[in-house]
Amino acid sequence: MKERNSTYDIRKATLGYQEEVERLKVQAMMGWHKEFRNLQWYGLKNGMNVLELGSGPGFVTEQLANNLPDSEITALEIDSSLLDEARNRLHYIPSSRLHFVQESVYDTGLPDNSYDFAVARLLFLHLHNPLKAAQEIYRILKPGGKLVIIDIDDGIFGAIYPDIMLLPSVLRKLADYQASKGGNRYIGRSLPRLLASTGYIDLDIDTVTQHSDLHGVEGFKRQFDITRFKGFYQKGIINIEEFEQLKQASENINDSPEAYAMMNFVMAYGKKPAHWVNQLSIKV
């Protein structure tokens, strides 16, 4: 039995399966140019053996494969329907270059010391046990291999104009709810410590900003789609006033040329030391 132990299951998405896939698509594509720029800055190069964890419907996978034409890409994802979605869409990429693995990030089944570069995008905020995941990725990275975690931190969520006065309390309530289910919407700030405690070195953290004036408003329409918040209101997680303000923001972003929004994503980096020795394999 694969250990999901996370708060993300697309079958429970309030938008429904196909709309949620579309939301993930626009969200991944809006930031890709900047994220890829930073990934390269952290050392991602064509020809590397690359692992993507929690690859979902494979929009980032596709960009990795197309931008790194001499690399082998492995997309690891626990959900078989999302993996099929990616497999079907990416059938044009030779199977010698693109591998799909249906496993959990906690126990990938992949061999020790195998990957030059690993990317986990919007996975860690959902994990019940991020340390275990970071340790597993460490095991399968080559000595000198690198990990970049791209994630959120709702303390620096971003902004929307016209302002939603109750946005801070909405964010706090949604984060508390996520925490009650075992996730962490403030994960961004804790990533350097997480990586350090796992043994990664040369740590760094940075942010990438998506702005509707630069990247188009489409992704933000989906982000603020009021359907996403209805369930939280119905469950009593947010109150009527907060829901009404979100509804107004959703209408603004859909209809008003004055409206704009921006969102921040955290990129945390760490390297597995080049002279790493698996302590468990040392015989005494």
Among 260, 147, 245, smallest CA distance to 209 is for 260
Element housing 217 (H / E) = none
Q: Cα–chain-centroid distance for residue 128?
A: 15
Based on the shown chain and the rule CB under 6 A, indicate whether residue 77 belongs to the binding site for ligand SAM.
Answer: yes
Stretch 12-41 residues interacting with ligand SAM (CB under 6 A): 24, 28
Closer residue to ligand SAM, CB minimum distance, 6 or 198: 6
Closer residue to ligand SAM, CB minimum distance, 78 or 167: 78
Q: What are phi and psi for residue 70, nearest 5 degrees? A: -105, 10
Contact 51, 148 (CB under 8 A): no
Q: What are phi and psi for residue 98, nearest 5 degrees? A: -130, 120
Element housing 186 (H / E) = none
Based on the shown chain and the rule CB under 6 A, indicate whether residue 60 belongs to the binding site for ligand SAM.
Answer: yes
State how far the Cα of 189 lies from the Cα of 193, in Å rounded to an integer: 9
Closer residue to ligand SAM, CB minimum distance, 102 or 169: 102
Q: What are phi and psi for residue 129, nearest 5 degrees? A: -135, 75
With 0-12 / 13-18 / 19 or more C-beta atoms within 10 angstroms meaning exposed / middle / buried, residue 113 is middle
* Interface with ligand SAM (CB under 6 A), residue from 90, 122, 166, 170: 122
- Find the part of the chain contacting ligand SAM (CB under 6 A) among 38-46, 64-72, 122-130, 135-143: 122-130
* Interface with ligand SAM (CB under 6 A), residue from 21, 39, 64, 82: 82
Contact 114, 137 (CB under 8 A): no
* Interface with ligand SAM (CB under 6 A), residue from 64, 78, 90, 147: 78
Based on the shown chain and the rule CB under 6 A, indicate whether residue 6 belongs to the binding site for ligand SAM.
Answer: yes
* Interface with ligand SAM (CB under 6 A), residue from 98, 100, 116, 121: 121
Closer residue to ligand SAM, CB minimum distance, 243 or 269: 269
Closer residue to ligand SAM, CB minimum distance, 122 or 259: 122
Binding-site size, ligand SAM (CB under 6 A): 22
Strand partners, 96: none
Binding site for ligand SAM (CB under 6 A): 4-6, 8, 24, 28, 54-56, 59-60, 77-79, 82, 104-106, 121-123, 126
